């Protein structure tokens, strides 16, 4: 029977399906073995991984087979059956096999770092080829890997050569070929319109669900869903009711709301005079909370940050809103909960928005966004440049300040040295300054200048990347202490997100726990803030410390003014929106799905609990409200 399938003009189409399913199944098995300790398997979920995985593999093979089917349909019989015509057929299958094998290797590598199938991160990696290809070249032996993939591809083509040739032995007229081609097209068309990547979610264990997927299909889903229509795919309620909830949650002693029922605009008026303080905000790449000794780490890789805690306002229970740098930058500039799909930083209509930079610019501050890499990456330059910040990146940093470079940019020391220069420049001009700096050194390949720390750069370890960044921050603050503006400056140090985001469950809260502290010996009284604090709360909290009077559109809290019991955090992937309050987690997902859990903040596991209407209404109000404000222009600045 199988022999007859290949002994057919459209036999190569079936051969593509065999190739895709075979390589995908082997990849799935490798990923399963790698994840064995994190799986919660029972016979049904184990069978489900491979049955559902096979379904997605067939879907992917239908797309891969389109050019092959087109070729089989259009090629004249008299040419297709000639002996020399084996060459283009072999080349076509060489290309397909090469892509599939290369993808399998990439999936395994991606899984090792993120513990998920391809997602938005992989899409970004494809778009920003300069940084990514450079990073890959620095991190792996590409000539050896490339040679291995080519040899494996040749071996695969050699093994299937007779099945490729078999299709040349059968004659088929154009009219009959057209019928076969038309019937075939129904398969990818049905897959495109009827299939989505939620079919694989059969378990409460996220690893099981991810293994049941297909990396190529997940990549395509992420690529096409740059923004997900909230009102179409998520649970909704009346907009007026949403804003009534938001106003009640955002109410503070120093806030007076406008009368607009669909706005959270409010006047922030403080009793005491505004403080004329400078701000330096350091957002640190991939600094998980569990890297700090304070949270139990035994490796001593953040000695300086740990030593700074007793002298700072330290947020013990501080949580990132997402898993990507752009999501962290969104929270640290817009103070808005995440909206489904890509971060606002990456979206087209994101200019003239209500950012921290725009607020401080109206107060006469010099406002800079400083990045040690190329600000083209992740659309950072365009976004910050259109929202009140002057963008300065590695192209602006003098060569004399650069000690080491990777594909991602220059070393953190150089970027901090350049930041000091910008602070000096503003101070000399008699202006207050707000400098937001984004670090890059804690990023694969984790290399840095030699001789700085006791972990050699050549080890290319995450621990080394973390410890070097800690060293660079230490040097930066020591150098800043000698500056005349030091005693009048708040230093805010916060992570953009954790180094790893995946866990056994959807939205494992421990994978969002990040450090945050505000340091200024002359201005800040050291304290441990134990309340639950979201990344989106940092902007209003810092502006509150300045006693700033302004008209706010931020959805974050000034935590010092927050009514006890109103504390909440937001955690998300690009599809699942999590809301945590009062020890309960509400997850809003596509298909208007709502699930309730009791989250374990230490292990990251989620135990399902009955839904609670009031909390669910709050979750919808925050997320639908954020989407409404973004889409309606309610988060734009008033010109």
Residues 6+ apart with CB under 8 A from 360: 279, 367, 388, 432, 434
| Domain co-membership, 619 together with 523 | yes
Determine the Cα–Cα distance for residues 252 and 541; give it in Å rounded to an integer.
12
Asked whether residue 583 carries a pLDDT value surpassing 70, the answer given is: yes
Q: Rounded to a whole number, what is the distance in angstroms from the first to the last CA of the chain?
A: 72
User: Is residue 450 domain-shared with residue 544, that is, in the same domain?
Assistant: yes
The total of structural domains in the chain comes to 2
Q: Which residue has the tokens 């809103």?
A: 321
Domain boundary among 198, 224, 250: 224
The domain of 122 spans: 2-224
Q: Is residue 263 part of a domain?
A: yes
Give Cβ neighbours of residue 567 (< 8 Å, ≥ 6 apart): 531, 532, 533, 557, 559, 581
pTM reported for the whole predicted model: 0.78
CATH number at residue 531: 3.40.720.10
Average pLDDT over residues 333-360: 94
Q: How far apart are CA 56 and CA 50, in angstroms?
A: 10
Residues 193 and 290 in one domain: no
pLDDT band at 570 (very low <50, low <70, confident <90, very high): very high
Indicate whether 65 and 149 sit together in one domain: yes
Q: 332 or 103: which carries more pLDDT confidence? A: 332
Nearest CA to 361 among 384, 334, 336, 389? 389
For residues 26 and 133, state if they share a domain: yes
Indicate if 189 and 144 belong to the same structural domain.
yes
- Give yes or no: residues 628 and 496 share one domain: yes
Which helix (DSSP H) or strand (DSSP E) does residue 232 occupy? helix 230-233
Q: Model confidence at 511, in pLDDT bands (50, 70, 90)?
A: very high
What's the mean pLDDT in 132-137? 62
All residues at 6 or more sequence positions from 305 whose CB lies less than 8 Å from its CB, including other chains? 292, 470, 473, 493, 515, 517
Return d(Cα 408, Cα 425) in angstroms, integer. 27
Q: Is 312 helix (H, G, I), strand (E, B) or coil?
A: coil
547: left (phi over 0), alpha (psi -120 to 50) or beta: left
Tokens for 139, please give them. Answer: 């991190």
* 249 within a domain of the structure (yes/no): yes
What single-letter DSSP state applies at residue 369?
Answer: E
Assigned domain for 55 exists = yes
Residue 367 lies in a domain: no
> How many whole angstroms separate alpha carbon 241 and alpha carbon 234?
16
Domain end position, chosen among 224, 253, 272: 224
Three-state SS letters, 47-88: HHHHHHHHHHHHHHHHHHCHHHHHHHHHCCHHHHCCHHHHHH
The encoded tokens of residue 300 equal 């001593």
**pLDDT band at 298; cut points 50, 70, 90:** very high
Rounded Cα distance between 637 and 633, Å, is: 9
Q: Which residues contact 480 (CB under 8 A, 6 or more apart)?
A: 280, 420, 423, 486, 489, 491
Q: Cis check for the bond before 138: say yes or no (omega within 30 of 0).
A: no
Task: Assess if residue 391 is contained within a domain.
Answer: no
| C-beta separation of 168 from 85 below 8 A | yes
pLDDT band (50, 70, 90) for residue 169: confident
CA–CA distances in Å: residue 306 to residues 125, 300, 479: 33, 9, 19
Structure tokens at 546: 């300045």
Determine contact, residues 511/503, Cβ cutoff 8 Å: yes
**What pLDDT band is residue 35 in, cutting at 50, 70 and 90?**
confident
β-partners of residue 594 are: 588
- Reported as a single tens digit per residue, the pLDDT across 61-76 is 999 999 999 999 998 8
Residues 187 and 302 in one domain: no
Residue 492 has what DSSP assignment?
Answer: E
Residues 299 and 275 in one domain: yes
**What confidence score (pLDDT) does residue 502 get?**
63
The answer as to whether 337 is a domain residue is no
The CA–CA distances, whole Å, from 188 to 72, 87, 149, 180 equal 17, 27, 28, 14
What is the DSSP secondary-structure string of 543-605? HHHTT--EEE---S--GGGPPTT---EEEE-SS-EEEEETTEEEEEETTTEEEEEEE-TTT--
Residue 600 has a pLDDT of: 94
User: Would you place residue 122 in the very low, low, confident or very high pLDDT band (cuts 50, 70, 90)?
Assistant: low
In a shared domain, residues 185 and 247: no
Are the beta carbons of 277 and 427 closer than 8 angstroms? no
Report the b/e string of 122-157 with b at 16+ CB within 10 A. bbbbeebeebbeebbebbeeeeeeeeebeebbeebb
- pLDDT of 553 over the 80 cut: yes
Domain annotation covers residue 101: yes
| 96: its two tokens | 């397909």
Cβ neighbors of 154 (< 8 A, separation 6 or more) are 94
Of the listed ranges 2-6, 106-110, 422-426, 617-621, the least confidently predicted one is 2-6
Per-residue confidence (pLDDT) for residue 39, from 0 to 100:
83
| pLDDT tens, residue by residue, 378-430 | 899 999 999 999 999 999 999 999 999 998 899 999 999 999 999 999 999 99
471 and 613 part of one domain: yes
pLDDT top residue among 327 and 83: 327
Domain termination residue (choose one: 224, 255, 277): 224
247/110 Cα distance (integer angstroms): 42
Q: What is the mean pLDDT of residues 600-619?
A: 95
Beta bridge partners of 571: 578
pLDDT score of 1 more than 60: no
535/621 same-domain check:
yes
Reported in sequence order, the residue ranges of 226-341 that DSSP labels E, i.e. its strands, are 255-257, 266-268, 278-284, 313-315, 318-319
pLDDT at 417: 98
pLDDT above 90 as % of the chain = 72
Q: Which helix (H) or strand (E) holds 366?
A: strand 366-371
DSSP notation for 265-296: -EEE--SSPPP--EEEEEEETT--GGGSGGGT
Written as six digits, the tokens of 38 are: 């994190």
d(CA 250, CA 101): 52
The pLDDT value given to residue 40: 75
CA dist list (Å): 450 to 446, 456, 458, 459, 468: 12, 7, 9, 11, 10
Work out the pLDDT band at 58, boundaries 50, 70, 90. very high
Residue 348, domain member (yes or no)? no
Per the DSSP assignment, residues forming a β-bridge with 611 are none
């Amino acid at each position: 029977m199988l022999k007859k399938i290949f002994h057919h003009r459209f036999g190569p189409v079936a051969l593509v399906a065999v190739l895709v399913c075979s390589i995908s199944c082997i990849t799935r098995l490798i990923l399963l073995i790698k994840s064995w300790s994190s799986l919660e398997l029972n016979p049904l979920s184990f069978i489900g991984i491979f049955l559902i995985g096979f379904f997605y593999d067939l879907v992917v093979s239908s797309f891969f087979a389109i050019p092959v089917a087109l070729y089989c349909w259009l090629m004249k019989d008299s040419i297709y059956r000639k002996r020399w015509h084996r060459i283009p057929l072999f080349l076509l299958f060489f290309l397909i096999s090469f892509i599939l094998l290369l993808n399998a290797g990439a999936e395994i590598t991606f899984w090792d770092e993120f513990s998920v199938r391809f997602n938005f991160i992989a899409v970004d990696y494809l778009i920003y080829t300069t940084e990514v290809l450079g990073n890959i070249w620095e991190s792996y032996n590409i000539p050896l890997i490339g040679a291995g993939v080519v040899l494996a591809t040749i071996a695969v083509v050699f093994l299937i050569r007779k099945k490729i040739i078999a299709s040349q032995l059968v004659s088929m007229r154009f009219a009959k070929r057209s019928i076969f081609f038309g019937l075939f097209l129904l398969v990818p068309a049905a897959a495109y319109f009827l299939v989505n990547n939620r079919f694989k979610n059969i378990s409460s264990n996220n690893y099981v669900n991810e293994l049941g997927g297909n990396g190529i299909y997940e990549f395509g889903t992420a690529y096409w869903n740059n923004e997900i229509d909230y009102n179409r795919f998520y649970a909704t309620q009346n907009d007026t009711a949403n804003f009534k909830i938001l106003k009640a949650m955002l109410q503070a002693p120093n806030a007076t709301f406008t009368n607009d029922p669909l706005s959270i605009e409010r006047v922030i008026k403080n009793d005491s005079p505004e403080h004329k303080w400078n701000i330096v905000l350091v957002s640190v790449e991939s600094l998980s909370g569990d890297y700090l000794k304070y949270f139990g780490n035994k490796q001593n890789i953040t000695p300086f940050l740990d030593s700074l805690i007793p002298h700072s306002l330290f947020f013990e229970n501080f949580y990132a809103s997402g898993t990507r740098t752009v999501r962290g930058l969104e929270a640290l500039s817009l103070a808005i909960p995440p909206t489904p799909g890509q971060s606002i930083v990456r979206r087209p209509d994101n200019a003239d928005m209500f950012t921290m930079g725009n607020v401080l610019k109206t107060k006469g501050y010099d406002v800079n966004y400083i990045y040690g890499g190329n600000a083209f990456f992740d659309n950072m330059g365009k976004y910050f440049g259109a929202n009140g910040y002057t963008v300065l990146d590695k192209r602006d940093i003098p060569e004399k300040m650069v000690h080491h470079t990777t594909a991602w940019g220059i070393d953190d020391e150089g970027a901090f040295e350049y930041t000091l220069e910008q602070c000096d420049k503003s101070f000399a001009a008699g202006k207050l300054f707000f400098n937001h700096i984004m670090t890059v050194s804690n990023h694969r390949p984790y290399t840095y200048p030699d001789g700085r720390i006791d972990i050699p750069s050549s080890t290319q370890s995450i621990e080394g990347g973390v410890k070097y960044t800690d060293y660079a921050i230490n040097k930066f603050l020591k150098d800043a202490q000698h500056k005349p503006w030091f005693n009048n400056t708040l230093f805010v140090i916060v992570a953009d997100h954790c180094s790893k985001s995946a866990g056994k469950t959807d939205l494992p809260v421990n994978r969002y726990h990040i450090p945050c502290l505000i340091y200024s010996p002359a201005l800040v009284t050291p304290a441990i803030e134990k309340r639950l604090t979201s990344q989106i709360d940092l902007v209003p909290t810092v502006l509150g410390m300045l006693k700033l009077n302004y008209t706010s559109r931020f959805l974050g809290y000034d935590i010092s003014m927050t009514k006890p019991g109103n504390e909440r955090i937001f955690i998300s992937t690009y599809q699942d929106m999590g809301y945590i309050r009062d020890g309960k987690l509400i997850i809003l997902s596509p298909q208007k799905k709502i699930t309730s859990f009791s989250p374990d903040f230490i292990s990251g596991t989620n135990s399902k609990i009955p839904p609670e209407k009031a909390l669910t209404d709050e979750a919808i109000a925050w997320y639908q409200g954020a989407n409404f404000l973004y889409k309606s222009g309610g988060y734009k600045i008033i010109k």
